[in-house]
């Protein structure tokens, strides 16, 4: 592979506490030099990062790639393609496939697919319980040897408190975080949106905030006893943020993530029964959005992750009650995150920390920094590029997004994985429209 010089951009590397005008030279798949502008010398390829942020490769630690079993919605290949198009150099994929990823064999299958795709890195997350049934522990050790980076029954909560306790204790042996999908099914089970003024008006069954908060509180209480590491997936309510904040203040090993749709939309996005606003946990109230933003600002929320959940058109184009829950997110995350910097006063280094070094730390994987010698996973972000969300042009197989037609600002200009450009935004054409393409 040839060497790459990224020049003219502003490096934001929270792990090295570096922010400013630096050039980056990539040789043999690693960061060879980070130096002042113009000092790095020549390379086989030069990427002009003028006006751009140059950041450690973004890591989305919560995606659903649907393979094996649901390839009609997405595959490892198309998901990894969507990831690099969105600026992500790595993703961690959940275990609710078919068969469930509760064995070394399925873990290896996923890894093989990702190696063949050779796009974004794909880290499998293994199931906590066999078949995600919430009854028996899965063989976490075997899966760890096969390459999982965390365990989770995500898609479903672990309703059996004794099982959750044992999961925290057992996974600690392998230094794996337990990623918890917090939803008390008895309270939320039949709900299809937030329980609040909009669900009342639309006559839809709601999922109250308490359904999430009760489980967050339970798992934090268990954590106090068990040790181990707890990571709360897709936090969506002010109450949950508050619980995590207080747990951290007590020194507990809990981390938390938020999705871009939860800080960009409220329950009103359901509008007149738009199933592209149906997901679990649901969109909440503006007071919850404010609390999530505050959580990002003060570090209570460590990670931004999309919960990319592709679904086929036939599963969404039905009555609201029957529609599948979830939306895609890899290709719309970046501009929504950048809007926080632009409009909500979030510092860029705080944003990047939540999208690279922090997820790397929770998963225990390499990456998350641009230090000399580190693997060359780099994202070049153009914060000024304007574009319109056209789901038909997604790299993902699925189109289920509430952001169709939105005017976005900010896009990945280049996504580099292991020193190879996996995604490049072409220069603007004569008519001003930027073209996008994948490159190998």
Partner 1 sequence: MFTRRHLLGLEGLSREEILSLIDTAGTFKEISDRDIKKVPTLRGKTVVGLFYEASTRTRTSFEIAAKRLSADYVNISAPTSSSSKGETLLDTARNISAMRPDALVIRHSASGAPHFLAKRIDCPVINAGDGAHEHPTQALLDLLTIRDKVGRLDDLTVAIVGDILHSRVTRSNVHALRTLGNRVRLVGPPTLLPAEAAAWGEVHHDLRSGVRDADVVMMLRLQRERQGRNYLPSLDEYSRYFCLNRAALALAKPDAVVMHPGPINRGVEIASDVADGAASLIMQQVTNGVAVRMAILFLLVNRVRAAAPDVPVAEHAAPERRRKVG
Which listed residue (48, 406, 436, 438) binds partner 1 by CB under 8 A? 406
CB of 190 to partner 1, least distance (A): 10
Distance CA 124, CA 269 (A): 32
Give me 413's structure tokens. 């200009």
390 binds partner 1 (CB under 8 A): no
Among 202, 221, 371, 438, binds partner 1 (CB under 8 A): 202
Site map 313..332 versus partner 1, x via CB under 8 A: ----xxxxxx----------
Query: Of the two residues 33 and 342, which places its CB atom closer to partner 1 in the complex?
Result: 342
Close Cβ partners of 383 (under 8 Å, ≥ 6 residues apart): 51, 52, 53, 338, 341, 342, 409, 410
SS3 (DSSP) at 272: coil
Of the candidates 212, 250, 251, 365, the residue with the CA atom closest to the CA atom of residue 303: 365
- Give the shortest CB-341-to-partner 1 separation in angstroms: 10
Residue 118 annotated to the active site: no
| Of the residues 273, 312, 418, 420, which one makes contact with partner 1 according to CB under 8 A | 273
DSSP of 332-395, one letter per residue? THHHHHHHHHHHS---HHHHHHHHTHHHHHHHT-S-S---TTSB--EEEEEEEEEEE--GGG-S
Q: Which of 58, 83, 92, 336 forms a contact with partner 1 (CB under 8 A)? A: 336
Stretch that binds partner 1, among 29-37, 50-58, 192-200, 360-368 (CB under 8 A): 192-200
Asked whether position 433 contacts partner 1 by CB under 8 A, the answer is no
Provide the β-strand partners of residue 178: 151, 230
In the complex, least distance from residue 333 CB atom to partner 1, rounded to whole angstroms: 12
Please select the residue that binds partner 1; options are 98, 161, 407, 439, rule is CB under 8 A: 407
Give the residue with the Cβ less far from partner 1, 244 or 283.
Answer: 283
Site for partner 1, residues 208 to 267, rule: CB under 8 A: 264-266
Beta-carbon-side half-sphere exposure of residue 212 (alpha carbons within 13 Å)? 28
For the record, the structure tokens of 315 come out as 């599963």
DSSP type of residue 280: S
Where does this chain bind partner 1 (CB under 8 A)? 195-197, 199-204, 264-266, 268-274, 277, 317-322, 335-336, 338-339, 342-343, 405-410
* Catalytic residue numbers, as ranges: 307
């Amino acid at each position: 592979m040839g060497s790459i010089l990224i020049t003219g951009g502003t490096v934001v590397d929270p792990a090295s506490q570096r922010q400013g005008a630096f050039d980056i030279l990539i040789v043999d798949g690693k960061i060879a030099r980070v130096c002042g502008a113009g000092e790095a010398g020549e390379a086989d390829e030069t990427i002009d990062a003028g006006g751009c942020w140059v950041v450690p490769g973004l890591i989305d630690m919560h995606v659903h790639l649907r393979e094996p079993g649901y390839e009609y919605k997405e595959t490892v290949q198309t998901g990894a393609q969507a990831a690099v198009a969105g600026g992500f150099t790595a993703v961690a994929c959940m275990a609710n496939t078919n068969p469930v990823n509760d064995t070394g064999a399925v873990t290896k299958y996923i890894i093989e697919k990702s190696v063949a795709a050779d796009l974004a890195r794909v880290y499998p997350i293994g199931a906590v319980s066999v078949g995600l049934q919430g009854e028996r522990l899965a063989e976490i050790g075997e899966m760890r040897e096969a390459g999982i980076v965390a365990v989770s029954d995500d898609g479903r909560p672990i309703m059996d408190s004794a099982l959750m306790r044992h999961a925290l204790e057992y996974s600690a042996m392998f230094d794996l975080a337990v990623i918890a999908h917090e939803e008390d099914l008895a309270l939320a089970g039949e709900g299809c949106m937030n329980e609040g003024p909009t669900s009342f008006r639309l006559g839809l069954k709601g999922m109250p905030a308490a359904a999430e908060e009760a489980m967050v509180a339970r798992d934090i209480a268990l954590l106090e006893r068990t040790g181990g590491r707890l990571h709360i997936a897709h936090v969506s309510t002010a109450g949950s943020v508050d619980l995590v904040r207080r747990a951290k203040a007590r020194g507990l090993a809990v981390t938390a993530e938020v999705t871009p749709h939860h800080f960009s939309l409220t329950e009103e996005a359901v509008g007149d029964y738009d199933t592209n606003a149906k997901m679990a946990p649901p969109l909440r109230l503006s007071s919850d959005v404010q609390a999530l933003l505050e959580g990002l600002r003060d570090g209570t929320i460590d990670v931004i992750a999309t919960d990319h959940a592709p679904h086929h058109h036939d599963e969404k184009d039905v009555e609201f009650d029957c529609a599948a829950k979830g939306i895609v997110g890899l290709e719309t995350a970046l501009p929504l995150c950048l809007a926080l910097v632009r409009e909500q006063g979030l510092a860029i280094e705080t944003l990047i920390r939540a999208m690279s070094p922090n997820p790397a730390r929770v998963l225990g994987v390499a990456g998350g920094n641009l230090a000399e010698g580190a693997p060359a996973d780099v994202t070049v972000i153009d914060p000024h590029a304007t574009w319109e969300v056209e789901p038909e042009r997604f790299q993902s197989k699925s189109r289920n997004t509430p952001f169709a037609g939105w005017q976005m600002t900010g896009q990945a200009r280049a996504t580099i994985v292991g020193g190879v450009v996996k995604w490049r935004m072409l220069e603007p054409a004569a008519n001003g429209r930027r073209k996008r393409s994948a490159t190998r």
